[in-house]
Amino acid sequence: MRVNIDEIKEGGLSRVWDLAREDVDAIVNGDPAGYRARSPLHVEAHFRKVERRVLLGVRGRVELTAPCRRCLTPVTVDAPLEFELTCVPEESAEAPDDAQRDRDARGNSRVAGSFSAADVNEETYAGKVIDVDPAIREQVVLALPSYPVCQESCKGLCSVCGANLN
C-alpha cells in the first residue's frame, strides 16, 4: 500500500485493505516453521502529518497454520499486527557517520551503533510517497512464534515408532 502524503489532510487519513493469502504466503515463505495463510491479512492504517513527518499507526490480524513442532498436528496461529512508525523525509534523516567512535571504560575506541535509540521507530520515505508494505512484512514475521505447538503439554512423537504420544 502506497500513500501520497498530499492525501493526508489535517484530521489524518485512514485506510483499510486486505493482503491476499498468496501475498501473506510470500511474506512467510522460507520460515522454518512452515507457516501458510488461512485468511487474508486485514490491515487498518491511520496516517497523521506532523510538519514533514508522518505518524503511522497500523493494526491488523492474520490467521496462519503450521505443523506443531513436536507432533506435526496442524496448528492455527492468530498473529496480531500492531505497530506505530514515524516516517521521515529521506533528505532530513541523519546519515550515520562511519567514523563515529565511542570510548569504553579503558579509553579504547570502538564503533558506536548505526542508529540511536530514538530512531528505532523511524523509517524514511522518498519524494511524496510512503510505502507501508515493507514495514508490514517485517512486523508479520516478528509476530510469528518461532516454535508453534498444538498445546504446551504436547508430548510429541515416539522416537521409536513415530506414533503421536498425545
pLDDT tens column, 8-54:
998 899 999 999 999 999 999 988 889 999 999 999 999 999 888 89
Going by their DSSP bridges, the two strands 129-131 and 109-111 should be labelled as unpaired
Find cell 501458510 and name the residue: 36
Band of residue 89 on the pLDDT scale cut at 50, 70, 90: confident
Query: Which residues are paired to 12 by β-bridges?
Result: 9
d(CA 132, CA 126): 13
